[in-house]
Chains A and B, each alone.
Chain A
Amino acid sequence: MKHIRFYFLIVIIVAGTYLGYLLFIADTDAPDLTRYPVRQLKFFPKKVNMPEFNPLTKEGVLLGRHLFYDGRLSGSEDLDSLKSCATCHIQSKGFGSDIKVLAGKGYPCGFTKNGEGIFGKNLHVTLPLINLLYNSNGYFRNGFIREQNLYETDDLEIGFKYLESIVWISIVSEQVIDSNVKQMLEIIGSDQVYKSLFISAYGNEKITLKRIVLAISQFIRTITASDFKFYHFMEGSVVLSDSEQRGYELFYSERTGCFHCHAGSMTMTTNQYYNNGGDGELQGNCDRAAVTLNPGERGAYRAPSLINCALNAPYMHDGRYSTLEEVIDFYSENIYNSKLADPLLKGLNDGGIHLNKAEKKDLLDFLHTLTDYTMLSDLSYACPEALGRFGIRAR
Chain B
Amino acid sequence: MKYVNYFIFVLILVIYSCYTNEEETFNGTLRFEIDHHVQGMPIEVDNMIYTNAAGNPYEISEIQWFISDVSLVDAEGQIHILSNSDWIHYIDTDLPETHFWTIMDGVRPGEYEMIRFIFGIKGEKNAPMMFTDPPESNMIWPYFMGGDEGGYHYMKLNGFWIDKESQRSPFNFHIGVGQMYDENARITGFVQNWFEVELPLSSFKMPAGGNVMARIVMNVENWFKGPNNYDHDVFGGSIMANQEAMGQIKANGRDVFSAVIK
A residues sitting closer than 8 Å to B (CB atoms) are 1, 5, 8-9, 12-13, 16-17, 19-21, 23-24, 27, 43-47, 136-137, 234, 249, 252-255, 257, 259-260, 263-266, 270-272, 296, 339, 341-346, 348-349
- Whole-angstrom distance between the Cβ of B96 and the nearest chain A Cβ: 13
Complex Cα spacing A265 to B171, Å: 24
Name A's interface SS: loop
CB pair B238 A271 closer than 8 Å: no
Whether A348 touches B14, Cβ cut-off 8 Å, given contacts A254-B241, A259-B142, is: no
A6, closest chain B residue (CB): B17
Are A265 and B159 neighbours in the complex by a CB distance under 8 Å?
no
CB < 8 Å neighbour of A345 from B7, B17, B170: B170
Complex: A272 Cα to B92 Cα, angstroms: 14
Cross-chain contact A13 with B10 (CB below 8 angstroms): yes
With known contacts A20-B2, A339-B168, A252–B144 Cβ distance under 8 A: yes
**Closest Cβ–Cβ distance, residue B142 to chain A (whole Å):** 4
**B239 CB-CB contact with A under 8 Å:** yes
Instruction: Return the CB mask of B231-243 against A: 1 if under 8 Å, else 0.
Output: 0000001111100
Contact between B2 and A137, CB atoms less than 8 A apart: no
Q: Please, which residues of chain B bring their CB within 8 A of the CB of A13?
A: 10, 14
Is A296 touching B46 in the complex (CB atoms < 8 A)? Answer: yes
Contact A264/B170 with A1-B22, A13-B10, A296-B46 known, Cβ cut-off 8 Å: no
Q: Is B143 an interface residue (CB 8 A)?
A: yes
Given contacts A16-B9, A43-B132, A343-B160, contact A270 B138 (CB under 8 A): yes
A20-B7, A346-B237 known; 16 new pairs, CB 8 Å cut-off, are: A17-B10, A24-B6, A44-B132, A46-B133, A249-B142, A253-B145, A254-B240, A264-B137, A270-B138, A339-B168, A342-B170, A343-B158, A343-B159, A343-B170, A345-B170, A349-B163
- Per-position contact with A for B124-159: 1 when CB-CB < 8 Å, else 0? 000001001110011110111100000000000011
Across the interface, which residues of B come within 8 angstroms of A264, CB to CB? Answer: 134, 137-140
Q: Give chain B interface residues in 202-250, CB to chain A under 8 Å.
A: 237-241
* Residue on A nearest B153 in the bound complex, by CB: A260
Cβ–Cβ contact A234 & B13, under 8 A: no
Task: Give which listed residue, B10, B144, B158, contacts A344 with CB less than 8 A.
Answer: B158
Residue pair A45, B3 in contact (C-beta under 8 Å): no
| Residues of A contacting B71 in the complex (Cβ-Cβ under 8 angstroms) | none
Q: How far is the CB of B179 from chain A (nearest CB, A)?
A: 11
Residue picked from A9, A24, A257, A260, most chain B C-beta under 10 Å = A260
CA distance A16 to B5 in the complex (A): 11
